[in-house]
Amino acid sequence: MDSTIASILLLDGLTNGAIYAPTNSSTVLVFAVTRVIFIPQGEFVAYGALTLAILQTGQVPGTVWLLLLLAGVAALMELHARWLHHRDLGAAAYAALKTLIAPVLVSLVTIWAAPQQFHLLVQALLSVAVVTAFGPLVYRVAYQSLESATPLVLLIVSVGVHFALTGLGLLFFGAEGFRNPAFWDLRLNLGPVMLSGQTIIIGVASLALIVLLWLFFERSLFGKALRATAVNRLGARLMGISSHAAGQLSFTMAALIGALSGLLIGPTTTIFYDSGFIIGLKGFVAAVVAGLSSYPGALIGAMFVGVIESFGSFWASAFKEVIVFTVILPVLLVRSLTSGHSDEDH
């Protein structure tokens, strides 16, 4: 291998890494706040890319119908829970309505806008809005009543949600794959390396996301409140932080980040209804590299996985995935040797 190939591979790897970085940060985020290992993160990525792809064709994306369905279920659950709790129909109806309003609005706007063939950026914005609306609903429907369960139960729930969302993706998008147009068709030749506009967008967007996340959790009161929930649910509740709200908020952020990654990745590769899983899992490997705890660490972890993947596919392309997923073992080994103790009573 000469330096030309190496630099091309490196750039390729860093670009991949920049795509995994947001996914993996939201894994870290969701885990930190709710102790949920959120396997369906990748589904948000696929949903984001596919929603935009369908909007491009001028049709109403299936995600809208799915969103309405999920909102309906969530509203019914909310109605039922409030009714059991207060026996007050007015309050229950109000709570249900509050659950419904945002998803329904987003859906209506999308249904109206779909045939109008607006500019790519408008469609991108709509896609993000649709997928982001999934976040709190998924939390409400699948996780909220299990908030105090052990991380292992929550992990198994995540697997269930992943199954359901993948199957629904197949139902609403079909088995066909899509590739989205680039947002910026710039081409820059820097010596041997060709830098495309999309690469620059990916890099900048991913870096910006991570910095924003870091600022949010380290510097804002809201972010600190979320972290407090993660450390001590009851304590946080006594301080007036609702654990339901914290969970829904973190899932909203996860969905938002997933949708954005979907837009970033859409132009670089063909996305199918089930593509999200592998992307999500690579985000995981990266998150584990980072120890599921820090955002700058998550970025470095993602870059590491991206570069391993691109060099792996050069040397042994058939075994690319094997290499990426086996890397986690030595990383875990190092972690177990350096941390040196197991947690008590988790």
Provide the binding-site residues for other proteins, judged by CB under 8 A. 37, 142, 145-146, 149-153, 155-157, 159-168, 170-171, 174-175, 281, 284-285, 288, 292, 318-319, 321-322, 324-326, 328-329, 332-333, 335-336, 339-346
3-state helix, strand, coil in the chain (%, to 5): 80, 5, 20
Smallest gap from residue 103 Cβ to other proteins (A): 19
Nearer to other proteins, 58 or 160 (CB): 160
Contacts of 217 (CB under 8 A, 6+ apart): 29, 32, 223, 224, 226, 227, 295
Q: Count Cβ neighbours within 10 Å for each residue of 174-187 and write b for 16 or more, e otherwise.
A: eeebbebebbeeee
Q: How far is the CB of 156 from other proteins (least distance, A)?
A: 6
Nearer to other proteins, 105 or 152 (CB): 152
Find where tokens 């589904």 sit.
Answer: 43
Q: How far is the CB of 320 from other proteins (least distance, A)?
A: 8
End-to-end CA distance of the chain: 48
Query: Among residues 146 and 204, whose Cβ is nearest to other proteins?
Result: 146
- In the bound state with other proteins, the residue whose beta carbon lies nearer, of 232 and 336, is 336
Shortest reach from residue 291's CB to other proteins, in Å: 10
> 116 vs 150, which CB is nearer to other proteins?
150
Q: How far apart are CA 81 and CA 197, in angstroms?
A: 49
The span from the CA of 25 to the CA of 27, in Å, is 5
Least separation, in Å, of the C-beta of 161 and other proteins?
6
SS3 195: strand
Written as six digits, the tokens of 222 are 């809201």
Q: Which is nearer to other proteins, 157 or 205 (CB)?
A: 157
Maximum C-alpha span of the chain: 73
In the complex, least distance from residue 313 CB atom to other proteins, rounded to whole angstroms: 12
